[in-house]
Chain A
Amino acid sequence: MELTENIIHGFSVAFQWQNLLFCFVGVLIGTLIGVLPGLGPVGAMAILLPITYGISPVTAIVMLAGIYYGAQYGGSTTSILVGIPGESSSVVTALDGYQMALQGRAGPALGIAAFSSFIAGTIAIVGLMLMAAPLVKFALKFGPAEYFSLMLLGLIILTYLAQKSMVKALMMAAIGVVLGLAGLDSITGMPRFTGDMPELLDGIGIAPLAMGLFGVSEILLNVERQIKRSVVVKRVKNLLPNRQDWKDSAAPIGRGTIIGFLVGILPGGGTVLSSFLSYGVEKRFAKDPEKFGKGAIAGVAGPEASNNAAAQAGFIPLLSLGIPASAVMGILLGALLIHGIQPGPLLMKNEPDLFWGVIASMYIGNIMLLVLNLPMIGLWVRLLMVPYSILFPIILFVALTGAFVINGSLLDLYLMLGFGVLGYLMRKFEYEPAPLILAFVLAPLLEISLRQSLIISGGDVSVFFVRPISLTLLVIAALLLLSALVPSLRSKRQQIAARAEEET
């Protein structure tokens, strides 16, 4: 069996000591930033991106991936113990998890959150392995026209799922394209949008951009808000859910896994949306829905399974097509490119170490996370008591150091601060940064596929419409855009997006 061989190969890579070490570092940092409100996985990954420059690409991706799925575990701890979500993907966990904690059942709530995350994460990795190979075969038929249409559709789905205004999200995507094209044009060799600064000839770095938009801007918003946290439970006992808890959670975990996996593959869907969907589904399936919001364990198990499955499934488009489906995957794509690895359908064949090693490391990472989040829960509870006034200066300082060491250039520091202020203002006026960062990493690929398609067709735009796959993708994109204009559908879209706020 080819698959078995590949899996064994993957584990042999993942078990190399430096990969084990950085997998551990990744999930540890992931849990840490998950537990601490005020810094999301995108910001944290961006801040740590510079460290990965000095290590091998496999090890780098293993660590960065660990931060992402680790954050899904850590976020639930804060949701349950403090009632404030540690991560946006664990917003719904706060609803019933916090109630359970108030009723003295913090232990089982944390336990079921960790176990359902583990089960769903593991199942989703199996799904990822099974789906990747056929998808790669399919993608090998793609020409530049298909790629262009696929990226365009990805960006439009992401903006469609934007929580606020879709118009603003589309605008952010366009800004991201322009920023992503800054630097030397790879075909004509002409400098673009560099303002005559030689440092910008290589383009704007993803690290200062992402650190600014997701790291610095979050700090700025938080310092003016004064986060207050009170931990309801100082000591957690009885982490193991009892038989009844398991009975109530089994079906929600199953359904949550499926929902998370399906939503996770879609661009922009990701962990937040899947956890809300799962919560809604469980409420509908429940015999006594009025228990929801008052400490129903199914309301913890379902969404926690769902966000983890989504986090793992999000790797499918990146690893098999080379197209990131979310801002987090955008950072990972940036990391691959920095290491000179060309993502795309050939990744599996050309870089088997990376492809199978990273997937195998996720199994190991999930087991590490289970250990980190159950027996060592006391450590995280204590960490939650570290005040933000100590945390944010440290985060800011690490970001400044990280932005500087990449190129040893002060310009990157100014850029990071500038994008930090921009991100702060954007959030004030409800312009979301996720479409910007995704469009930023996609822009060079988007331009190349657009040019290649047009050069091959001799300037005939119909090349995008006569090829069936490309046409299908564009029709879906157009339908989404149109549906955003139709008032009744628009309000439905906003309902889905706004549920995040209503339910909290």
Chain B
Amino acid sequence: MNAERLVSLVWLIVGGAVMHTSYGLGLGTGGEPGSGFLPMIAGGFICLMAVVIYVQTYTNKQMAQSRFSDHWRGTDWPRAVILVVLTLAFIVLIEILGYFVTSILLLVIIMKALEKLSWLKSIVIPIVTVTLTYLLFTSMLDTNMPRGVIGLW
């Protein structure tokens, strides 16, 4: 399947969902537009543009040849995927292990496993960075960072 075409269909679904939700919110009347009024227009516009792009995948030469592999050619894309997974793990673990431990872990793993830096760099840089960032943000704002179930900070 043509990649651009598939993407345009995804947008069509998004636009349709927005229109459906907007209808449920109530369009109101011309003199008193409801909560769904502008979202309905925006949703309709998304659908319209999605259809235009769909048509373009037949008429535009470059878009007609779009394939998924082309968009990722010559890139080391697994690195991007690993980074997303690590970040996701960070968010999940932050409440369990606490902000400080999770942050250090995230940075050490990225620097050592993904970037293959030396052990010295992969340990010293995260500790300095996390400490400084923690001090900077907590001094500017009164936010308590999650301490985790163990109660470390």
Which A residues lie at the B interface, using CB under 8 A?
50-51, 53-55, 165, 167-168, 170-171, 174-175, 177-178, 181, 185, 187-188, 190, 192-193, 216, 219-221, 223-226, 389-390, 393-394, 396-398, 400-402, 404-405, 408, 410, 413-414, 417, 420-421, 424, 428-429, 443, 446-447, 450-451, 454-455, 457-461
Contacts and interface: CB of A to CB of B under 8 A. Distances in A.
B94 A50 contact: no
Interface string B18-36: 1001000110011111111
A249 to B, nearest CB: 39
B53 A168 contact: yes
Interface in B93-145: 94-95, 99, 103, 106-107, 110-111, 114-117, 121, 125-126, 129-130, 133-134, 136-137, 140-145
A454 B111 contact: no
Given A171-B50, A397-B129, A219 B83 contact: yes
B38 interface: yes
A460 B25 CA distance: 22
Interface of B: 3-4, 7, 11, 14-15, 18, 21, 25-26, 29-39, 42-43, 45-46, 49-50, 52-53, 56, 71-72, 75-80, 83-84, 87-88, 90-91, 94-95, 99, 103, 106-107, 110-111, 114-117, 121, 125-126, 129-130, 133-134, 136-137, 140-145
Contacts, number: 177
Contacts of B30: 454, 458-461
Contacts of A450: 33, 37-38
Contact of B49 (A53, A174, A226, A443): A174
| Leading 10 A-B pairs by shortest Cβ distance | A459-B30, A459-B31, A389-B115, A171-B49, A54-B140, A405-B143, A224-B75, A177-B42, A185-B35, A174-B45
Contacts of A181: 38-39, 42
Contacts of A225: 75-76
A19 B115 CA distance: 39
Nearest to B102: A400
Q: Main SS of the interface on chain A? A: helix
A168 to B, nearest CB: 7
Contacts of A168: 49, 53
Given A178-B18, A393-B126, A413-B91, 13 more contacts: A54-B142, A55-B140, A167-B53, A219-B83, A393-B107, A397-B133, A400-B91, A402-B137, A429-B7, A429-B71, A454-B32, A455-B31, A459-B31
Contact of B80 (A165, A220, A400, A454): A220
B33 A174 contact: no
Contacts of A396: 83, 87, 110
